[in-house]
């Protein structure tokens, strides 16, 4: 649809930016924080560990002041479960509680709405030792943790997100061990989807508890949604794309919003003898916990074709690369799209497609909780970073959000990844996303000084004009 007049961004649109605790805080062993699983494993060769990260723990005031200078209306950050509960359950760490209280207060003082993710890829090591999401008690662990957050911060935090990219945890589980597997695991697929089920139940209970303990607050999920295109108009390719969409995207949102499983995935799991087993009360919990909005991370779309068994299936190398599933779909490259320096396809129009599709399916307001481009960057001699490619990337995506709003979709906000430079999930500090350069490398901590990049000043203008001036 071509629009002759574009609808303006809503006046209360939440222009923001995102980070996550383990990727930016550092202070890994400070003030009583318990280790997370990653702290105990060797980092990917050639990349830093997570002990110092961007040292947000000690720079939070300066960082939030920079965010305020940029004009951010919201800051999406995550709380480290093991900073609040070093053992994952039981004794609360007062210093941990205090840290996030100070971060929240600082945001509010600077006129920035905190948008809090409860769990972003950082399961406490103590809980991993007890089996992680493989332990049936994990549902209650998460609910108890959520309850502590609501009771301590619910007076100030109006927007909550439950689990970051649960779908990524699931589809990378076997390859990257994003879940903990029991020693004896005869049916790996069933185990993965059983753990997935526990997370979904935990999330639904966290939705309900939020509404009970924090009246007026709003809560949503935060999956990574990559709409899947069929490689051609061959009908079988469309079936494959529907399968892939169901498995990667809709399974998570169908349960979160409607409290029931996606039928395509249910049928596939049944055929594989991998259906999750419901504990007593699970069905009721899924039906009772409802989100107020949908948060989703968007980096690109994916493309696939029919898997007719004639060629090997593509393997996912990371969260944004198309993969294959025997008899369901075979991921392939999209010849119409360019890729980022780190190999991810770039598809701004796909964001509009994704927004329209999510809205058609769920009719809830949406906030984009991550979107951005990673690049290797260097400071110039005069302390600048000329990230024109980031400006071009974000501009193209914001234009598409504007078009989706004109299409009638309800958008609450946009939080690019990331507010400041931080450590990539598996490519270290050399893959930077921030509006603010953090002066360190993978193995040289330098002075950790902050330098606004060109994109910082550009985004400031975008926000000041409420999305009218995209430069
Ligand atoms: C998302 C994660 C983030 C973030 C981002 C960029 O999947 O939620 O934590 O890291 O991707 O990915 P990467 O760091 O792998 O480049």
* Nearest ligand 1 atom, CA 20: 9
* Coil vs helix vs strand at 438: strand
Q: Which atom of ligand 1 is nearest to the CA of 164?
A: 8
Q: Which residues contact 79 (CB under 8 A, 6 or more apart)?
A: 21, 100, 116, 117, 118, 149
Q: If pLDDT is split at 50, 70 and 90, which confidence band does 175 have?
A: confident
- Choose which residue among 48, 370, 421 to substitute to test ligand 1 binding: the one with the highest number of ligand atoms within 8 A of its C-beta: 370
Of 467, 464, 433, 437, nearest to 453 by C-alpha is 437
pLDDT band at 174 (very low <50, low <70, confident <90, very high): confident
What residue segments make up the domains of the chain, in order of their start?
14-226+344-464
Is the domain 14-226+344-464 a CATH 3.20.20.80 member?
yes
Least confident of 35-44, 64-73, 76-85: 35-44
The pLDDT tens digits of the residues spanning 221-272 come to 999 999 999 999 999 999 999 999 999 999 999 999 999 999 999 999 999 9
Pocket of ligand 1 (CB under 6 A): 20, 23, 164-165, 168, 224, 297, 318-319, 370, 374, 417, 424-427, 431
CA of 91 to the centre of ligand 1 (A): 31
With 80 as the cut, is the pLDDT of residue 183 above it? yes
Closest C-alpha among 292, 340, 307 to residue 115: 292
Neighbours of 430 (CB within 10 A): 17
Q: 443 is written with which tokens?
A: 């193995």
**Band of pLDDT at residue 317, cut at 50, 70 and 90:** confident
Burial tier of 242 (Cβ tally within 10 Å: 0-12, 13-18, 19+): middle
| Ligand 1 centroid distance, CA of 76 (Å) | 14
As a whole number of angstroms, the distance between CA 187 and CA 272 comes to 10
CA of 424 to the centre of ligand 1 (A): 6
Are 208 and 147 spatial neighbours (Cβ–Cβ below 8 Å)?
Answer: no
**Rounded distance from Cα 373 to ligand 1 centre (Å):** 10
- Which atom of ligand 1 is nearest the CA belonging to 431? 16
- The answer on pLDDT for 444 being more than 90 is yes
| CA separation for the pair 224, 4 (Å, rounded) | 32
- How confident is the model over 427-437, as pLDDT tens digits? 999 999 999 99
The single residue of 128, 165, 191, 325 carrying the catalytic annotation is 165
Q: What is the DSSP string of 330-365?
A: EEE--TT-EE-TTS-EE-HHHHHHHHHHHHHHH---
Cα(199) to centroid of ligand 1, in Å? Answer: 20
Confidence band (pLDDT; 50, 70, 90) for 89?
A: very high
Q: Ligand 1 centroid vs 233 CA: distance in angstroms? A: 32
Residue nearest to atom 6 of ligand 1 (CA): 424
Q: How far apart are CA 264 and CA 450, in angstroms?
A: 48
Dump pLDDT digits (tens) for 360-369: 999 999 999 9
What's the Cα-to-Cα distance from 341 to each of 252, 299, 346, rounded to whole Å?
A: 30, 14, 10
d(CA 423, CA 53): 6
Pocket test for ligand 1, best of 122, 223, 417 (most atoms within 8 A of CB): 417
Report how far residue 9's alpha carbon sits from residue 75's, in angstroms, rounded to the nearest whole number.
18
Peptide bond into 351 cis (omega under 30): no
Q: What are the E-state strand segments in 193-238? A: 218-222, 228-230
- pTM score, whole prediction: 0.97
Element (H, E) at 304: strand 302-305
- Give every CB contact of residue 222 below 8 A, 6+ residues apart in sequence: 117, 161, 162, 163, 164, 165, 295, 296, 297, 369
| 436 phi and psi angles, rounded to 5 deg | -125, 125
Which of 36, 249, 319, 375 has most ligand 1 atoms within 8 Å of its beta carbon, as the pocket-test mutant? Answer: 319
For this structure, is 370 an active site residue? Answer: yes
Determine the pLDDT at residue 284.
98
SS3 (DSSP) at 422: coil
How remote is the CA of residue 119 from the centroid of ligand 1, in Å? 14
Query: Percent of the chain, pLDDT > 90?
Result: 93
Closest ligand 1 atom number to CA of residue 319:
7
Q: What residue's CA is closest to ligand 1, atom 11?
A: 425
pLDDT tens profile 259-310: 999 999 999 999 999 999 999 999 999 999 999 999 999 999 999 999 998 8
For residue 4, pLDDT over 90 is answered with no
- Please tell me which residue in 113, 128, 306, 370 is annotated as part of the active site: 370
For ligand 1, atom 15, which residue shows the shortest CA distance?
A: 425
pLDDT tens-digit profile of 380-408?
999 999 999 999 999 999 999 999 999 99
pLDDT of residue 341: 87
Contact 331, 324 (CB under 8 A): yes
């Amino acid at each position: 649809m071509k629009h002759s007049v574009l609808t303006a961004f809503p006046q209360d649109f939440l222009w923001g930016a995102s980070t996550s605790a383990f990727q930016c805080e550092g202070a890994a062993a400070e003030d009583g924080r318990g280790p997370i699983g990653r702290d105990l494993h060797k980092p990917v060769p050639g990349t830093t560990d997570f002990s110092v990260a961007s040292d947000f723990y000690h720079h939070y005031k300066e960082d939030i002041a920079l965010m305020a200078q940029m004009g951010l209306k919201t800051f999406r950050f995550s709380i480290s479960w093991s900073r609040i509960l070093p053992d994952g359950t039981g004794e609360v760490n007062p210093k941990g509680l205090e840290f996030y209280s100070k971060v929240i207060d600082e945001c509010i003082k600077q006129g920035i709405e905190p948008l809090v993710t409860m769990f972003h890829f950082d399961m406490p090591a103590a809980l991993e030792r007890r089996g992680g999401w493989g332990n049936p008690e994990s549902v209650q662990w998460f609910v108890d943790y959520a309850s502590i957050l609501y009771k301590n911060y619910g007076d100030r935090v109006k927007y909550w997100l439950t689990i970051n990219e649960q779908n990524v945890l699931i589809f990378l589980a076997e390859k990257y061990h994003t879940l903990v597997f029991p020693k004896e695991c005869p049916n790996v697929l069933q185990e993965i989807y059983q753990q997935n089920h526990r997370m979904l139940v935990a999330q639904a209970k966290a939705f309900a508890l939020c509404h009970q303990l924090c009246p007026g607050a709003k809560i949503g999920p935060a999956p990574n949604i990559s709409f899947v295109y069929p490689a051609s108009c061959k009908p079988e390719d469309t079936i494959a794309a529907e399968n892939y969409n169901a498995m990667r995207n809709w399974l998570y949102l169908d349960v979160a919003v409607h409290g029931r499983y996606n039928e395509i995935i249910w049928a596939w799991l049944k055929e594989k003898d991998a259906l999750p087993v419901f504990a007593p009360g699970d069905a009721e919990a899924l039906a009772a916990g409802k989100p107020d909005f949908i948060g989703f991370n968007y980096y690109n779309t994916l493309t696939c074709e029919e898997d007719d068994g004639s060629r090997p299936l593509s393997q996912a190398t990371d969260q944004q690369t198309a993969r294959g599933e025997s008899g369901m779909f075979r991921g392939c490259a999209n010849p119409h799209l360019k890729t980022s320096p780190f190999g991810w396809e770039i598809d701004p129009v796909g964001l509009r497609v994704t927004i329209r599709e999510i809205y058609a399916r769920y009719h809830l307001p949406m906030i984009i909780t991550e979107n951005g481009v990673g690049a290797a960057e260097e400071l110039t001699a005069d302390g600048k970073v000329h990230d024109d490619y980031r400006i071009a990337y974000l501009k193209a995506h914001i234009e598409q959000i504007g078009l989706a709003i004109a299409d009638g979709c309800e958008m609450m906000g946009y939080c690019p990844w990331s507010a400041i430079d931080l450590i990539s999930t598996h490519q270290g500090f050399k893959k930077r996303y921030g509006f603010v350069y953090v002066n360190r490398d993978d193995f040289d901590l330098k002075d950790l000084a902050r330098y606004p990049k060109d994109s910082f000043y550009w985004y400031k203008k975008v926000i000041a004009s409420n999305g009218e001036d995209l430069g």
